[in-house]
Amino acid sequence: MATHHIFKRILLYPPSTSVRFKTTSVQYVASRARDPTFEKLMDNYKNLLKVIAIQDLILANPKNPTVSLQFLSNLSQKLHLNRGAASFLRKYPHIFHVFYDPSKSLPFCKLTDAAVEISRLEAAAIRGSMPIVVDRLVRLLSMSTVARSLPLRAIFKVWRELGLPDDFEDSVILQNPHLFKLCDGNEPNTHLLKLVSVIPSVNLRAAVENWRIMECCKEDCGSSVDPLELRFSFKHGFPPGMRLGKNFKAKVKEWQRLLYVGPYEEMGEKKKSKSGIMGLEKRAVAIVHEFLSLTVEKTVEVEKISHFRKWFGIDLNIRDLFLDHPGMFYLSTKGKRHTVFLREAYERGCLIDPNPVYDARRKLLDLVVLGRHGLFSSDSTLQDMDGCEEGKLQEEGGNG
């Protein structure tokens, strides 16, 4: 981290004074306050991501939704299957059914009936929420400062997080020509998705603005919350055990009072003064907060959201932005990836306000957590897994 950047952060940004004098980004990440609830969720979620990757490979061929263990073994490193494909599949017999195909002399894998049903539920939930999907894309494009457009490749990286159907180019973009248009990008073989009809910012209320209205409408709002304090505020909830000293609280309070420019509003001229830089930082927080609010599970990998940084006009390091505001965001490093959660959206590891797509995905997560437990009460029995040429499975998975 550059020296001038460190001093700028020390002088300007309020949260976590205990990490201000760290000299590297690695140390900054390592020094963050841990939240056991989110860490436990990520322990299971990191395995869910591997399950989803294999599930996608199986479902890629609708006519014959199977995949050979040899093929999966060749992808073990890419899929982060540390002990090999066969070992990983055996951990989740409620999701994967491994069988031996005598005609091909190879073991294959397919989804169990329970996993297939969950996949259908998710697809049905996405189809049933198409108006919401369209609204999410409109809002995402409306936050862009570059002619209300975004690279299609960036949207592809977060299509699942946004709850888009896997054929969204046809089912969403081409079906709504009055809203969306695909254009050629500046680089070869690149495309931009552009918003055809610009939606006035007054018609696009951000999630944090809805929260402020709800807070003001509470019966005890007048006695417990100053409306002027709430005007530019974000909801905060810090990790358990995090030390909140007087100086820290004062800086958070000062930051909450900073002028708020919504993610759908024009920022205006950028000022190089201290207040101007802090205003840009609060605007960046507003954008990433809204981005997370638009996702199905209120979470996204930092690497994925970073692809939108330039297009949203954010000049700051996205990861450090999340670390600077532990009351709003929680950053986990589980599974060899940095994943950020919107703190206010979760309670005890579950979404407070779930949606049908989240509910379907949660069912798959439940099967991941179940592991090999309850085998005899499921369609996927112990015999299904262990009676299919054990020696041949180990031969195929021996690379892991």
Fold designation for 32-114: Nucleotidyltransferase; domain 5 (3.30.420)
On whether the CB atoms of residues 56 and 65 are closer than 8 A, the answer is no
- Average pLDDT of each block of 10 consecutive residues along the chain (400 residues)? 40 40 68 90 94 96 92 92 92 95 91 97 96 96 93 96 96 95 83 88 88 80 66 91 88 90 84 78 96 98 96 93 94 91 96 96 96 66 39 42
When the candidates are 1.10.760, 1.10.286, 1.10.10, 1.25.40, the CATH number that belongs to 129-201+355-362 is: 1.10.10
**For residue 221, what pLDDT is reported?**
60
pTM for the predicted model, two decimal places: 0.85
pLDDT in tens, 120-129: 999 999 999 9
On whether the CB atoms of residues 234 and 285 are closer than 8 A, the answer is yes
Question: What share of the chain in percent tops pLDDT 90?
Answer: 61
**For residue 276, what pLDDT is reported?**
76
pLDDT in tens, 254-264: 899 988 899 99
Tokens 């590891």 correspond to 349
Q: Domain spans of the chain? A: 32-114, 129-201+355-362, 205-353
**For residue 389, what pLDDT is reported?**
39
